[in-house]
Amino acid sequence: MKITWLGHSAFMIEGTKKVLVDPFITGNDKAPVKPDDLDCDIIAVTHGHGDHLGDAIFISKRKDVPILAIYEIAEYINSKGAKAVGMNFSGTYDYEGAKITMVPALHSSGITEAGFSHSGGLPAGFIIEMDGKVVYHAGDTGLFGDMKIIGEIYKPDVALLPIGGLFTMDTRLAAIAAKWIKPKAVIPMHYNTWPPITANPELMRGELEKENIKLVVLDPGESYEF
């Protein structure tokens, strides 16, 4: 499996299928690609904030691919003429062998648009299972105890964890989350996009190494394969 960081919380996760998560490209100065460059089989959106919903609708329409999201966001996406699959916590969507399960996140969610009658539902994370590998994209989240359960049930090989603080966990709390989840590797995300979420992922390395967890620090555009 190949995981490419596109900056902020956007990732392309590639195996037999290509899963694009939280494609915030337009307006993201760290993004190494343009929305027109992205080719995927399915899109997953963790919550309705603009830096996560991002270019999902544009890419969905351009490539004629579905977007997975919590039900309320799916209703919004459908109202914009894109294809959406609404789901909810513990639900799994099987896209031709790529299984995507929605799990909770501790955050907020909302869509800001005049005249839109639906809320942004609740924030989420995703477990992505493909080709015998498991990736946990935590979405925007604070630390919460059920991360232990997520780790126990799904046993992710790689966890994508936010570290920027202010809106999410910081490095200290993300290191605790990693100890609870027990992945083989952690890729930090949601940091250094803007000054309020500046962070140094290397502050986590010592704590993770004590747990035999590999810290994989990517620059936007770089990939990790396992």
Per-residue pLDDT reduced to its tens digit, 2-48: 999 999 999 999 999 999 999 999 999 999 999 999 999 999 999 99
Please name the helix (run of DSSP H) or strand (run of DSSP E) that holds residue 206, with its range, or none: helix 205-210
pLDDT of amino acid 117: 56
Confidence class of residue 116 from pLDDT cuts 50, 70 and 90? low
Query: For 172, what's the count of Cα atoms within 13 Å in the CB-facing half-sphere?
Result: 2
Confidence class of residue 111 from pLDDT cuts 50, 70 and 90? confident
For the chain, the farthest-separated pair of C-alpha atoms sits apart, in whole angstroms, at 51
The whole-angstrom distance between residue 205's C-alpha and the CA centroid of its chain comes to 21
pLDDT tens-digit map of 57-71: 999 999 999 999 999
pLDDT of amino acid 120: 84
Distance (Å, whole) CA 47 – CA 162 = 14
Which CATH superfamily hosts domain 2-219?
Ribonuclease Z/Hydroxyacylglutathione hydrolase-like (3.60.15.10)
Which two tokens mark 123? 């924030």
pLDDT of amino acid 170: 98
Distance (Å, whole) CA 42 – CA 65 = 6
Q: Where are the beta strands (DSSP E) in 60-205?
A: 67-70, 84-87, 92-95, 98-104, 124-130, 133-137, 158-162, 185-189
pTM of the full structure = 0.97
Could you tell me if 137 and 160 are in contact, meaning their C-beta atoms sit under 8 angstroms apart? yes
Where along the chain do its domains lie?
2-219
Q: What is the mean pLDDT of residues 100-128?
A: 86
Distance (Å, whole) CA 133 – CA 150 = 15
Confidence class of residue 115 from pLDDT cuts 50, 70 and 90? low
- Sign (positive/negative) of CA torsion 20, 54, 48, 52? positive
To 10 degrees, what angle do helices 56-63 and 71-79 make?
60
| pLDDT surpassing 90 at residue 218 | yes
Confidence class of residue 112 from pLDDT cuts 50, 70 and 90? confident
Distance (Å, whole) CA 176 – CA 172 = 7
pLDDT tens-digit map of 127-180: 999 999 999 999 999 999 999 999 999 999 999 999 999 999 999 999 999 999
To 10 degrees, what angle do helices 147-154 and 171-181 make?
40
| pLDDT surpassing 90 at residue 96 | yes
Please name the helix (run of DSSP H) or strand (run of DSSP E) that holds residue 5, with its range, or none: strand 2-5
Q: What is the mean pLDDT of residues 220-225?
A: 98
Please name the helix (run of DSSP H) or strand (run of DSSP E) that holds residue 220, with its range, or none: none
Q: What is the mean pLDDT of residues 113-133?
A: 85
pLDDT of amino acid 118: 59
